[in-house]
């Protein structure tokens, strides 16, 4: 994989203020915030006065890993060229943050699975950044309106702009749908995860931390669908790289240091390898195309 290609180095387009804001805010909030959860969940426990019992540490690390990934997805989407709507991923993330993410957070708090303080820590800045995106986008978009916003979000999914790559579009889109539905089910019913993966008994807020990880994974599935729909091959390539180079080694480390259960490790590793193999196979077989763009 060519990392310069994935991260659009050098840039293949002139970034707008909206895209620059997304790049900076995601690097600061998602990537650095996720790294804190991944590398030192004890800091999270101290700041929010939480007793990290059972596998809470490991589940928080998984959550941090998934948050880092989604941050890089947004950054790559903001920097890269796509055949469809320029703002599809960015504006879809706004809806995801303001509606779906806040709903899930409040649901987990209401069920007693997450501490309100920790949920508020993510909900408030996440919502502020989302609203800031809307403000900046509306300022630099001609005839900005609610209907235009919704059009940007839904247009690519309706028309499948990436059809020229044949099997790639359908495969990535279907993988996105399956992941979104599967992980969303486990978010709503995290007790199913204990049954499916044969997990140890939950203690403290560990069930909520694991459900939060599943939620971010469901967001990954959503952005698989968006990447397929608007033809962003750089994001598709990033999906493979993050799974092989980031997720797999991290899962092994968490298992070795007894941070997660063996059954959960096997399940997550199997999914990573299966999806990575499918994506690599389809990417290698897809017909290459020449970029039809210029730096504006």
Q: Looking at per-residue confidence, does 255 or 227 come out higher?
A: 255
Instruction: Say how far apart CA 127 and CA 32 lie, in whole Å.
Output: 17
Q: What is the mean pLDDT of residues 144-160?
A: 81
pTM value is 0.93
Angle (CA) 118-269-108 rounded to 5° is 25
Among candidate residues 230, 80, 225, 87, the one with its CA nearest the CA of residue 159 = 230
Is residue 83 pLDDT above 80, yes or no?
no
The 10s digit of each residue's pLDDT in 193-213 is 999 999 999 999 999 999 999
pLDDT class of 38 with cuts at 50, 70, 90: very high
pLDDT the model gives residue 285: 76
Q: Please name which of 59, 125, 94 lies closest in space to residue 223, comparing C-alpha atoms.
A: 94
pLDDT for residue 13: 87
Q: Is the confidence at residue 56, as pLDDT, over 70? A: yes
* Residue bearing the bigger pLDDT, 84 or 64: 64
* CA nearest neighbour of 130 among 262, 18, 291: 18
pLDDT digits (tens, 9 = 90+) for 232-242: 888 988 999 99
Residue 176's nearest CA partner among 228, 213, 211, 212 is 228
């Amino acid at each position: 994989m060519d990392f310069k290609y994935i991260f659009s180095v050098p840039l293949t387009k002139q970034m707008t203020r909206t895209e620059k804001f997304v790049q900076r805010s995601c690097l600061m909030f998602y990537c650095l915030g996720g790294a804190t959860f991944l590398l030192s969940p004890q800091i999270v426990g101290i700041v929010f006065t939480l007793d990290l019992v059972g596998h809470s540490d490991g589940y928080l690390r998984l959550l941090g890993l998934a948050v880092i990934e989604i941050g890089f997805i947004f950054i790559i989407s903001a920097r890269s060229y796509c055949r469809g709507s320029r703002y599809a991923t960015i504006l879809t993330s706004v809806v995801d943050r303001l509606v779906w993410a806040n709903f899930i957070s409040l649901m987990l708090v209401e069920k007693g699975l997450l501490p309100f303080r920790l949920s508020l820590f993510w909900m408030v800045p996440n919502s502020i950044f989302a609203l800031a995106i809307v403000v900046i986008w509306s300022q630099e978009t001609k005839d900005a309106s609610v209907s235009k916003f919704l059009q940007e979000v839904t247009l690519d999914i309706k028309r499948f702009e990436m059809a020229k790559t044949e099997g790639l579009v359908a495969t990535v889109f279907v993988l996105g749908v399956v992941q979104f539905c599967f992980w969303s089910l486990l978010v709503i019913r995290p007790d199913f995860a204990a049954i499916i993966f044969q997990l140890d008994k939950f203690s403290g807020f560990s069930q909520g931390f694991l459900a939060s990880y599943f939620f971010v994974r469901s967001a990954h599935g959503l952005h698989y669908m968006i990447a397929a729909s608007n033809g962003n091959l750089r994001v598709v390539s990033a999906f493979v790289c993050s799974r092989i180079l980031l997720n797999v080694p991290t899962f092994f480390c968490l298992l070795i240091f007894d941070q997660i259960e063996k059954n959960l490790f096997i399940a997550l590793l199997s999914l990573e390898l299966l999806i990575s193999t499918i994506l690599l196979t389809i990417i290698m077989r897809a017909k290459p195309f020449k970029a039809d763009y210029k730096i504006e």
